[in-house]
Amino acid sequence: QVQLVESGGGLVQPGGSLRLSCVASGRMTSFINVMDWYRQAPGKQRELVASISSDGTTIYADSVKGRFTMSRANVKSMMYLQMNNLKPEDTAVYYCKASLRTWPQENYWGQGTQVTVSS
């Protein structure tokens, strides 16, 4: 199994920056393949923000391209989301997700960290 813990959320003014971290632990961290950041705003569905594969390939939602950067440190099973030029519409609970190289595929979620962008 894998446990994921996010940190780094908080209150920031529009135009500000935050860096989210996600630490993976457990006996199956070596099976982690793709890691993702999702977010869910009040009254909205959870949406994919960014994704990174084991070879470092990243994809981003159009709404965050050019502002958010996702990175990963495989040795330490850690993942980061650098968020710059934050906007009020970025306000949400941010979750990290890990997808394992197992059959059937196993997915694990963190508990989420709140990001609030407001003046």
**Segment 51-98, tens digit of pLDDT:** 999 888 999 999 999 999 999 886 668 899 999 999 999 999 999 999
Matching residue, tokens 């199994």: 1
The CA-CA-CA angle for residues 108, 66, 44, to 5°, reads 50
* pLDDT band for position 17 (cuts 50, 70, 90): very high
* pLDDT band for position 38 (cuts 50, 70, 90): very high
- Average model confidence (pLDDT) across the chain: 94
Give the pLDDT score at 73.
Answer: 83
